Structure 1
């Protein structure tokens, strides 16, 4: 298998999406949700692009140099995006998924757990300004 540096950032995001989705589902079950309808509704709130972008924004100040490189590669990856979300938010969500994929591939389970442990707190902080996120991600 190629190293993460040689991988397309969208490939890292593909893996990160699956890892994060599995964490979300497990987290919701551990939080006491049992009805599939409730699980699905809650899961959507966690995996939507806006939430992932907000989580990334909150984590950015605490990321190391390599993690910032992964985020920038993920954000700048060329690919389509859904019509129900703006391109900036979608690219930041892709950057978050790329970061999770990087952590998974490099075996950084504790780092992933640290990030995931902050998700509920971050989700409760409300919407963010896209311009502030752009400033944090400038090279």
Structure 2
């Protein structure tokens, strides 16, 4: 049994990265595209560190997150990381880690309804061009 209180923000982000990616992959598959390169390109606008940082910024600006969700995001953002940012700056990388930690937390706490609600919100924001993450 996983003890949530023993997991740090980076560990939550490890799971959250995978959880969010699966939802996004299912979403892009729904477009009917079957070419993997095209699917990867479509997914990137949702799952890149830049996109995730823009999405979490929008969530904060629009007061989408509860106090607890904001705390989890900040714990993930501020957690000590042992890997380097790839293809992005450190601030964006830290913000995306916090975003992923929130997704991991919602999954581990079995709050699937809220997880899906936030992911659907993210999809709408990206598709409306509000993240400028290509």
TM-score scaled by length of structure 1: 0.84
Note the alpha carbon deviations across 1:50-108, whole angstroms, 9 max, x for none: 10111111222121111111011001011132242111111110000000000000011
Residue ranges of structure 2 left out of the alignment (5+ in a row): none
The answer to whether the Cα contact below 8 Å between 2:51 and 2:131 also exists between their aligned partners in 1 is no
Q: Which residue of 2 aligns with 1:107?
A: 110
Q: Which runs of 5+ in 1 are unaligned?
A: 129-139
Structure 1 residue 35 corresponds to structure 2 residue 40:
no
Moved more, 32-41 or 104-113: 32-41
Does the CA-based 8 Å contact 2:55-2:122 persist in structure 1? yes
Between the aligned partners of 1:126 and 1:20, the Cα distance in structure 2 is: 17
- Ranges of 4+ aligned residues in structure 1 off by more than 4 Å: none
Give the whole-Å Cα distance in 2 for the aligned partners of 1:119 and 1:69.
19
Matched, 1:67 2:72: no
Aligned to 2:23: 23
**Counterpart selection for 1:78 from 41, 62, 80:** 80
Deviation larger for 70-79 or 80-89: 80-89
TM-score w.r.t. the length of structure 2 is 0.87
When the two chains are superposed, the root-mean-square deviation of aligned CA atoms in Å is: 1.6
Q: Residue 3 of structure 1: CA displacement?
A: 3.0
